Structure 1
């Protein structure tokens, strides 16, 4: 009977240990070994958080690493790649160069990059369209203007965007965090942007409307102009990524409030656009290795009953 009780107690202890191993919570891996590169490797800015504002800080690796450790619930600043794209001095030649942020996540190398002109003008996958056309149509559709896709007004809007710096405006991603779910392998990247992107897109539509002669088309376009003015549109900048031999683009048309605003304009970085892609599951999560404390605990329980048996034999 005593042996049975001992076996039950030991079995329960082992079960508790196994349960503790099985129910260990998922861990989130972050980017390590961060470096800045590209053909325009000096053209980036680093923003840290001060209160509810983002402020430009020294471009030190320690600052970059700290900033990238945030998440959707708590963005901790961002790194802006190819920061000069929005300047009036930015030239066509400048738009052939990029800035990258590289590192390792879950044991795999990853590179995030700003976009160049060729990214926008090259055919995108099997869509039959350039990436610029594809992205612009996606932006219209996601924001409730799918009826414009493929129409003369939609095309005119796109051309105004393309010919007046729109590509450059959305080519400098602000990376706020890079995380990975250790159990599923999903990689999540935060893009800091405008919670309301209407002020970024509306000027291009205004240019298009103003270029039209008086006509029925202009009347329709002016009605749409009013709708756009009263619409809260959302659109992130685009980040190009390379991971496990694959290169693609990530962007989003849905933002959550970051609780932050850039200190000089009071608008930038107010929205967090989270984009994801399926990464490889880190090797360490595929092996059920118990914590050292659990192993020691199990050994302690087994040892205790061994000592008790020896003691009773000596009585």
Structure 2
């Protein structure tokens, strides 16, 4: 009788435990994906497998508490052209997590750069020394860094709808940055090397020496062009003055000719008439030879000689490299030099776009922890985990699995029953 009673009480205790769990079920997070052909799942560890387009595998990777298993958003290239990802929903809360496009970079590049420089201060002075044109040029490189196709190793909501992502990446992206900068250095040099006698890329010190030399030559040529142009601009006034002199001479010749005509041609007037004739001849010569030649010469100078000289100087000027491009080359070489001299690791996660609670965030981090694994395909990737959370995120406390709770409740029921039975038997 005691054993039967004991069995019934234990069963009742376990039933109460199960009933308590059933009446308070855990609310699950559901996931939906867009463009599943661009979704690739890694099953985790150093010997994991890659699975494309499998949403079941993707959901498991996002929720299995194993950050090394992850979902790559836009796997075909490192530079997404559209926002591919998933929408997670839990009760009243929803969040969409996607890849990052070049258009997205326009929205947050300044924020990302500021955070990067705050985390790696040796590069801040280099950046601040850049010209505005170089800063704009380098910023335009950001979309090509290959950071917009994030690997998401974990997703979860907090109790208030806040979002936490685990981003899987590299412990040190220095070599990746070095490759990108080297490519940009070469592109910049290729665009201007035709203006140099040598075809090999100059060193930073050579460019720093070259800039003032080229600037001196440009200043000298510009000064000469300015003088010649001033001379060209002055010629119309000189031509006008000479033309006015011709008009004055014509008037004087007319007056002298009138006076000559009024003097009778007699032996007594011969000397006076000869004087007037000589004056008229001299003025006519001045008009037809000196002033006319002068006007012709000024016209040729204005229309041909000086413009040809200016053209030659402009051709010479065009053969010199542009100072702005030389400055950009110097700036990028300075960045490359700083990166080569930097001895520490440079941790930077890939970036995900997160839209939740009516706000858009760009999820990234410069603080990583070692994952303890590397990807099975290249033995390099996935060496680091970066954690990102929305502002005010409240980490959830550990909640036992239902089966564990059931076991605990069952044991508790058994213990309580045993105590009651002891009292009864007593």
The two structures share one fold, judged by TM-score above 0.5: yes
Shift of 1:246: 2.1
Which of 113, 132, 137 is equivalent to 1:136? 113
Q: Which has the higher strand share?
A: 1
Structure 1 position 261 matched with structure 2 position 369: no
Range with bigger deviation, 138-147 or 264-273: 138-147
Residues 59-110 of structure 1 show CA distances to partners (whole Å, capped at 9, x for unaligned) of 3233122212344xx42411000112327xx7xxxx2x21121223476222
- The correspondence of residues 1-315 of structure 1 with structure 2, limited to 5 A, is 32-37=29-34, 40-49=35-44, 51-71=45-65, 74-86=66-78, 95=81, 97-105=82-90, 108-122=93-107, 131-144=108-121, 145-152=123-130, 156=134, 159-160=137-138, 162-163=140-141, 165-166=143-144, 169-180=146-157, 187-210=163-186, 211=188, 214-215=207-208, 222=333, 224-231=335-342, 232-277=345-390, 278-279=392-393
Structure 2: how far apart are the matches of 1:115 and 1:177? 18
Range with bigger deviation, 221-230 or 139-148: 221-230
Shift of 1:35: 1.9
For residue 235 of structure 2, what is the aligned residue in structure 1? Answer: none
* Compared CA separation, residues 170 and 108, structure 1 to 2 (3 A): same
For residue 127 of structure 1, what is the aligned residue in structure 2? Answer: none
* Compared CA separation, residues 262 and 173, structure 1 to 2 (3 A): same
Range with bigger deviation, 196-205 or 156-165: 156-165
Contact 1:153 1:221 in 2 (8 A): no
| Bigger-Rg structure (1/2) | 2
Residue 367 of structure 2 aligns to a residue whose secondary structure is coil
Contact 1:116 1:171 in 2 (8 A): yes
Structure 2: how far apart are the matches of 1:154 and 1:54? 46
Shift of 1:253: 0.5
Q: Which has the higher helix share?
A: 2
Structure 2: how far apart are the matches of 1:52 and 1:154? 45
Q: RCO (CA 8 Å, sep 6+): is it higher in 1 or 2? A: 2
Shift of 1:45: 0.9
Structure 1: how far apart are the matches of 2:69 and 2:395? 27
- Deviation beyond 6 Å, 4+ runs, structure 1: 217-220, 291-304
Q: Which runs of 5+ in 1 are unaligned?
A: 1-28, 123-130, 286-290, 309-315
| Count of matched residue positions in the alignment of Structure 1 and Structure 2 | 256
Q: Which runs of 5+ in 2 are unaligned?
A: 1-25, 193-206, 210-326, 400-407
Q: TM-score, with normalisation over the residues of structure 1?
A: 0.64
Structure 2: how far apart are the matches of 1:54 and 1:155? 45
Structure 2: how far apart are the matches of 1:279 and 1:106? 17
* Compared CA separation, residues 262 and 155, structure 1 to 2 (3 A): farther
Structure 1: how far apart are the matches of 2:85 and 2:179? 29
RMSD between aligned alpha carbons?
A: 4.0
Contact 1:149 1:155 in 2 (8 A): no
* Compared CA separation, residues 262 and 297, structure 1 to 2 (3 A): closer
Range with bigger deviation, 221-230 or 259-268: 221-230
Contact 2:39 2:52 in 1 (8 A): no
Structure 2: how far apart are the matches of 1:120 and 1:185? 26
* Compared CA separation, residues 204 and 140, structure 1 to 2 (3 A): farther
